Amino acid sequence: MSTMNTVGRPTAPAPSTPDHDYKHPTLTGGRGLLQDEPLIFEGDGWFKTGVDLAEPKSDGGDLGDLVRRDPIGLPGLSEPEAMRHYVRLSQKNHAIDLALYPLGSCTMKHNPRLNEKMARLPGFSDIHPLQPVSTVQGALELMDTLAHWLKTLTGMPAVAMSPKAGAHGELCGLMAIRAAHEASGEHLKRRKVLVPTSAHGTNPATAAFVGYTVVEVAQTDDGRVDVADLASKLGDDVAAIMVTNPNTCGLFERDIIEIARLTHEAGAYFYCDGANFNAIVGRVRPGDLGVDAMHINLHKTFSTPHGGGGPGAGPVVLSEALAPFAPAPWVVADGDGFKLIERGEDEAAQAFGRMCAFNGQMGMFVRALSYMMSHGSDGLRQVAEDAVLNANYIKARLSDVMSAAFPDGPCMHEALFDDEWLKGTEITTLDFAKAMIDEGFHPMTMYFPLVVHGAMLIEPTETESKAELDRFINALRLLAQAAKAGEVDRFKNAPFHAPLRRLDETRAARSPRLRWSAPEGHNMAAE
Ligand SMILES: *Cc1c(COP(=O)(O)O)cnc(C)c1O
């Protein structure tokens, strides 16, 4: 295992430790043409500067007590050094532009460059949310057009555009539901939200955050919501149910219409987690299934980039019953062009408030609309069909060496395996995933959904060609055969070829070190 050095960074593997002897050790920690790269603070650039500035004319006397006396502790690098540092770091970061990114439930698809080009048009990228609306008519029209297509694709009458991610959209949807129960005077008695056991963690977290008690709904042996259990838990104390469709086992909820009917009969609302919309876009309209609110992760279905918790957009479509409670702002068109409804008066008198300071993620709106328009309705339908086809191809080609969690029948956009096939090998799902890194593949989603033991959830998306899928399948088949042949060493301490080997993920999550502090003797007396 890697050891921690004084600055909290695992050291490069020592050349002679037996556990990294697997195949090709290197003396430096470098791999092929990829060099090991220290933190920018670990170099010796403290006395250098990348720029040559004239001495300031003022002695700073007019700053009084505010004159800086101590160095601020920034490393000094020349331009080529700075370039290399960041380019090397970027090479250690896996990206969808490098290879298939099979994370289930995440829909990591190719981000078309046309989207990027559109988002960089100055009329979209250089505007400010406080500009007078008369100067941003084109941007408002774009938001209105995107809203129109989101409503059309989902068969829903309203959409709140401002939420910044799927989880933020869940919050928006449940706040609209709470506002609706408040308006009908039922809020105090409807305190529960029902969530299936296979749900994404954000569902119960959101319900709890809004103040509801979360009640779990059981799952059937074939991976779907147990309708009888749901029916027994529905009553006049339930505010909403949260169901993902297709669900996190990669399966379509066959009883979805019955689920919606039972929910409405009990006076509750149906929140659908729309993270898996990619599997049905262009083919199924959630409005037709009886959904009252659903977020759409633009970074999943509509190919906008996934940011590290960063620049997302999770618009929420709303049914007739919930539409009046939608948060401000929204765009409307009248004879004079487009305007923003900002205040809780007139048509927005029942709006529950706002989700964020301004209007949502403009850059993502441009990318998503660009994606929709370049695909057209036939193209979007094909997205769903190809995503499902690709997942079924993976499921079919791996089911003889790995164990499918739900072997009967086809899956939707994700192929789900459990760890039954690893029984008796001493190798775990985690070991297997880490060994994939050595083969040049990012691991799939592991141990989710929780209802499947040692889950491995693979979502290829429609943007992978058959050749790429075959390459991936081939790597997994070879690894599976090695696992069954007892090559435990290949797995136990993998990855062997990643720059930092296997990390202590528990420690990283439980006691993250978020600040770098200079080790003893490190000279930071920078200029
Ligand atoms: C991704 C995902 C979410 C959360 O969406 P974010 O945009 O990451 O906040 C919620 N539910 C499911 C099923 C998801 O896959």
For ligand 1, say whether the CB of 275 is within 6 Å of any of its atoms: yes
Share of the chain above pLDDT 70, in %: 93
pLDDT of amino acid 38: 87
For ligand 1, say whether the CB of 165 is within 6 Å of any of its atoms: yes
Cα 235 to ligand 1 centre (Å): 28
pLDDT of amino acid 455: 97
Protein residue whose Cα sits closest to atom 15 of ligand 1? 105
Q: Among 172, 200, 244, which is best to mutate for testing ligand 1, by the most ligand atoms less than 8 A from CB? A: 200
Cα 73 to ligand 1 centre (Å): 39
pLDDT of amino acid 273: 98
The two tokens of residue 352 are 């529950």
d(CA 97, CA 103): 15
Cβ-count burial 455-466 (b if 16+ within 10 Å, e if not): bbbbbbbbbbee
**Better-scored residue on pLDDT, 58 or 219:** 219
Cα 200 to ligand 1 centre (Å): 7
Q: Which own/partner contact pairs does 95-102 have at CB distance under 8 Å and 24+ positions apart?
A: 99/440, 99/441, 99/442, 99/468, 100/441, 100/442, 100/460, 100/464, 100/468, 100/469, 100/472, 101/442, 102/441, 102/442, 102/443, 102/444, 102/445, 102/458, 102/459, 102/460, 102/472
pLDDT of amino acid 15: 41
Which atom of ligand 1 has the smallest separation from the CA of 312? 7
Which atom of ligand 1 has the smallest separation from the CA of 199? 13
Three-state SS sequence of 335-386: CCEEEEECCCCHHHCCCCCECCCCCCCHHHHHHHHHHHHHHHHHHHHHHHHH
Cα 157 to ligand 1 centre (Å): 23
Cα 497 to ligand 1 centre (Å): 31
pLDDT of amino acid 52: 82
Protein residue whose Cα sits closest to atom 5 of ligand 1? 166
Segment 140-149 mean pLDDT: 98
pLDDT of amino acid 204: 98
Cα 312 to ligand 1 centre (Å): 11
Which atom of ligand 1 has the smallest separation from the CA of 167? 9
For ligand 1, say whether the CB of 305 is within 6 Å of any of its atoms: no
Q: State pLDDT tens for residues 203-254.
A: 999 999 999 999 999 999 999 999 999 999 999 999 999 999 999 999 999 9
Cα 90 to ligand 1 centre (Å): 25
pLDDT tier for residue 307 given thresholds of 50, 70 and 90: confident
For ligand 1, say whether the CB of 366 is within 6 Å of any of its atoms: no
Q: Is 0.75 surpassed by the pTM of this model?
A: yes
For ligand 1, say whether the CB of 263 is within 6 Å of any of its atoms: no
Asked if residues 457 and 444 have their Cβ atoms less than 8 Å apart, the reply is yes
Protein residue whose Cα sits closest to atom 3 of ligand 1? 166
Cα 300 to ligand 1 centre (Å): 9
Share of the chain above pLDDT 90, in %: 75
Q: State pLDDT tens for residues 191-203.
A: 999 999 999 999 9
pLDDT of amino acid 14: 43
Q: Among 109, 164, 202, which is best to mutate for testing ligand 1, by the most ligand atoms less than 8 A from CB? A: 202
For ligand 1, say whether the CB of 202 is within 6 Å of any of its atoms: yes
Picking from 252, 277, 260, the residue whose alpha carbon sits closest to that of residue 166 is 277
pLDDT of amino acid 523: 62
Q: State pLDDT tens for residues 407-461.
A: 999 999 999 999 999 999 999 999 999 999 999 999 999 999 999 999 999 999 9
Cα 95 to ligand 1 centre (Å): 19
Q: State pLDDT tens for residues 263-284.
A: 999 999 999 999 999 999 999 9
Cα 55 to ligand 1 centre (Å): 53
pLDDT of amino acid 310: 54
